[in-house]
Amino acid sequence: KLGHGFRDLDMEQRILKLSQETGIGAQFGGKYFCHDVRVIRLPRHGASCPVAMAVSCSADRQMLGKITADGIFLEQLETDPARFLPDVTHDDLQDSPVVQIDLNRPMDEIRAELSKYPVKTRVMLTGPLVVARDIAHAKLKERIDAGQGLPDYMKNIAVYYAGPAKTPEGMASGSFGPTTAGRMDSYVDEFQANGGSFVMLAKGNRSRAVTDACKKHGGFYLGSIGGPAARLAQDCITKVEVLEYAELGMEAVWKIEVQDFPAFIVVDDKGNDFFDLVNKPFGGTPVSLK
């Protein structure tokens, strides 16, 4: 009856310190894994789960709210956070020119062009992309297993792991940001062996199996930045159409046209992985809460 929740300040500092020592940072080599930790101890029944971990977007975490007899009230958040950003141009962000990649060419020419540049190179993609994520990949594997092979669009066009949100009136697309690449890792070697998925675009790191497959088959993984999905739709995507499996809704196979779509070379055809280069100084040693 007297139990109540309280913050464990000591544990918060211990977990924050451990997170900073993992060597895992923000996307594409950031330094810090997180900027804040909250540990709240609550009374519980002995048979219930003793630990719950919640990771939320910093945008949501800052909102205050209250429920009273008069109703539900939410804090009015900043509507133009960009006004606090420094005035940074593309020239300020690069130590070498951004490479323009024309996706309207044959796949062999696209791969030959990408092969000229090291991992971490910034690229701008213009042309068609096939969009396929979890269920679409499972469907395509079923076709391989049935002896049908991959459709030509997986062989001739770079593949973007994503799914569209509802399209606002007057726009070519709704928010259309990348999904996490790792969920498709198990398909890469088999798809590339069947002549497809040679150029992949998504967010996050890939497993060693993907790096090995790209070296073996001559493939590439390009990293897109997670977060600005609405900006990608507004500034980069000019056309969206369903290619196959329309009944899957967002999980269908789509074809989109992009203009100056930003990305990085993360894994190349020589067995190099950008994240290996980033994590080496930290050693990647697992941490313990003991």
* pLDDT tens profile 180-211: 999 999 999 999 999 999 999 999 899 999 99
DSSP 26: S
* pLDDT tens profile 117-138: 999 999 999 999 999 999 999 9
Contact of 223 with 264, CB cutoff 8 Å: yes
- Domains assigned to the chain: 6-75 (no CATH), 97-277 (3.20.130.10)
Count the alpha carbons within 13 Å of 199 in the hemisphere toward its beta carbon. 27
Q: Is the pLDDT of residue 290 over 50?
A: no
For 149-208, the DSSP string reads: ---HHHHHS-EE-B---PPPTT-S-S--PBPBGGGGHHHHHHHHHTT--SEEEEBS---H
User: pTM for this structure?
Assistant: 0.72
Q: Is the pLDDT of residue 61 over 60?
A: no
Beta strand 71-74 pairing with 65-68: antiparallel
